[in-house]
Amino acid sequence: IPTATSFRTFTVTNLDARRKQLKEAGHRVSFTHLIAHAIARAATEQMPVMALHFAEIDGKPHVIDDGAVHLGIAVDVEKKGGGRTLMVPVIRDAGRLTFPQFLDAFNDLIARARENKLTADDLQGANVSLTNPGGIGTVASVPRLMNGQGTIVATGSIGYPPGMANVDPARLNELGVDKVMTMTSTYDHRVIQGAECGSFLRRIGQRL
């Protein structure tokens, strides 16, 4: 697939504060939950072009519009015999779910992925995907885009800029230094243009 990648770095101060409020209210909500929902909503309501994908039908190129964002969530799964594999279960029409509905669907798929209970249908039909290498400290990455998808979004690690990690947090507040996260969107350049992808990342940042 002829791809290109856009990068955007966000401050996550507000996101972090909202997540803490949710956790204090008894909700088990991760950064990935919030980011995934923001991606699905942005692609559904503002940038549906990001879910378009390419197909060759009878030898002719076509742009396919599914009319919904089917969001694939990359899950690192430990295999029974040792080793690891990557599975990508799909949340159907993710951008039209309320956040509680989305949370339930997300958690159900992740639990079944780790219990090896996913069906073939659970793993098919993603047109937008999210992967989170930031969970192991990766700052930014350019993941591989699979056939049938318009874009794959990757989130980097959340933290203070390099060189700031050991500074007293109170001092960081005085200096106005925020935690940041870099997000990339690798997209099919036959279907999606750079300005559209840039706008998509901006919309996600606004939601977060």
The catalytic residue among 33, 37, 53, 189 is 189
Going 106 to 6 to 149 to 199, the CA torsion angle's sign is positive
Q: Please, is 131 exposed, middle or buried when counting C-beta atoms within 10 Å of its C-beta (0-12, 13-18, 19+)?
A: buried
Q: Identify the bridge partners of residue 183 per DSSP, sorted by sequence position.
A: 8, 155
Q: Classify burial at 199, counting beta carbons within 10 Å of its beta carbon; exposed 0-12, middle 13-18, buried 19 or more.
A: middle
Is 189 an annotated catalytic residue?
yes
Q: Token pair for residue 60?
A: 């002719």
Residues belonging to the active site? 189
